[in-house]
Amino acid sequence: MNLSGFIRGNWVALGIILMVATGYGIPEMINYQGKIEVDGAPFTGTGYFRFAILDETSAYVWSNDGFFPPIAGETVTVNNGLYHVILGDPSIMEAIPSSLFDDTDELYLRIWFNDGVNGLQQLSPDQRLTSVGYSHKADLARDADTVDGTHAADLEESAEIDADIAAHTAISSAHHTKTTSFSELTDAATDAQIPDTITINYAAAAGDAGTLDSIDSSQFLRSDQNDTMNGNLTVTGTMQSAGFRMTTSPTNGYVLTSDASGNGSWQPVSGGAGGVGFEYPDGLSNIYPMGLYNLLTTPYQVPPGVNFYITNVYAGNTYSLFINGATVLIGVWNMGGVSGSFNHLAQPLIARETDWITSNNNSLLINGFLITAGTIPITRNLLNSTPYTVPSGQTLVILNVYSDGAYLHLNGQPILTGYYNTGQVSNQIQHLAQPILVPGNVTISAGSNNVTFNGYLR
């Protein structure tokens, strides 16, 4: 099946999709063979590709790294524009489950390409995988001579089953009659001998039994009183309770936590330089750690659908860090004879999807992580000529402020300036120990255009 697609600029991509199957099984891998041109010439070298499959609603159903959209690329050798890759090969990427093709025949392949010079670009249009659904249906049809996977030869015909039932009924009627006397029953008694109704008189004579299934009644918990259990309670399902109380009351500032063995205890809240118990607004589940350098010659663009949290920055000498051209961090200081340019950020810097991160120093190394975007990061400068107003109904959380010495204003009132010098520690970046919270409809301005704030909307 020949497919073609085009990309922004002067890049062209052509591709052929083949199904890779094992025996008579449903295809679990897709052999994609393609050709790519850059500026009208076949590309030769190492290409960086990302792949994803979408359904007819443009929802992601598979990607090469399991993220939607993918954030990690596959390295593929391209020779004179020609390349091929086996999608779903579990040795190099996420496997393609066979169930992917159960619900729809309308699936599309989306490809991103990076030649190492022009940055990551999305090929377009997406390419439809029309042969996948037909292959899957054909495999289901092959099982037409089975019932739930059981071959027809292994099933008894209904006539044989009816004959067996009739024979069993005749034998039971001939040899067994119901009885009302338990003394007449033997170890070989059958259902046919047991009466339909059994009445037991004088049940009260049994008294108040002290055991149940040989377990003493004192071993059971009662729901109508406050009982104490000395053993362990294991719940395999979901347990709901209106409340609970620990045997030892916690001290203010403590949280309930557990060790690796699941033993719970009250522990003090651990806080960093960024205040007590800082919580990342997008959480820390399914993060993708990142380290970047050479940002002067190779700027980095945050992939679509994710936010980039910058947590630490190091450089061998003076540097500036920029998000979309706005200065968010500089690194020059000498403290008590200890010199260097390592910033332990009290609060993270957050870059949103498609933001560009650059520097004026190739020795700069930044560390952080990517995570699926849930909040909206905001980075603004030029606040003197273009003030920023927080949208109505939202709150702006400012985590970091850079200034050349001018004040930051909220509705015209100064709240922060950037110059300070404390015991030989001087800089122009405010790593806020606690964030500045700005409500909706408040306007943020500055005394010069060299003031930048970074944070997020919530």
Domain extent listing, the chain: 2-141, 272-458
- The two three-digit tokens of residue 331, written as one number: 């690194």
Is 65 buried (19+), middle (13-18) or exposed (0-12) by CB count in 10 A?
Answer: middle
pLDDT for the residue numbered 153: 63
Cβ distance 454 to 349 under 8 Å?
Answer: yes
Q: φ, ψ for residue 275 (rounded to 5)?
A: 95, 180
Please list the alpha-helical segments (H only) found in 142-222: 158-175
Distance CA 323, CA 338 (A): 28
Where do we find the tokens 């030029």? 382
Cβ distance 18 to 31 under 8 Å?
Answer: yes
pLDDT for the residue numbered 5: 36
pLDDT for the residue numbered 103: 74
Q: Which CATH number fits domain 2-141: 2.60.40.1940, 3.40.50.720, 1.10.3720.10, 2.60.40.1120?
A: 2.60.40.1940
Alpha carbon distance, N-terminus to C-terminus of the chain: 47
pLDDT for the residue numbered 245: 61
Q: Is 411 left (phi over 0), alpha (psi -120 to 50) or beta?
A: left
Q: Which of 71, 85, 97 is nearest to 34 (CA)?
A: 85
pLDDT for the residue numbered 303: 95
pLDDT for the residue numbered 13: 53
Residues of the chain below pLDDT 50? 1-10, 12, 20-26, 132-134, 136, 138, 140-142, 174-175, 202-205, 270-276, 333-339, 419-427
Cβ distance 345 to 455 under 8 Å?
Answer: no
Where do we find the tokens 């030892």? 248
Cβ distance 45 to 118 under 8 Å?
Answer: no
pLDDT for the residue numbered 154: 63
Distance CA 96, CA 100 (A): 7
Distance CA 380, CA 323 (A): 9
Read off the DSSP letter of residue 134.
H
pLDDT for the residue numbered 129: 82
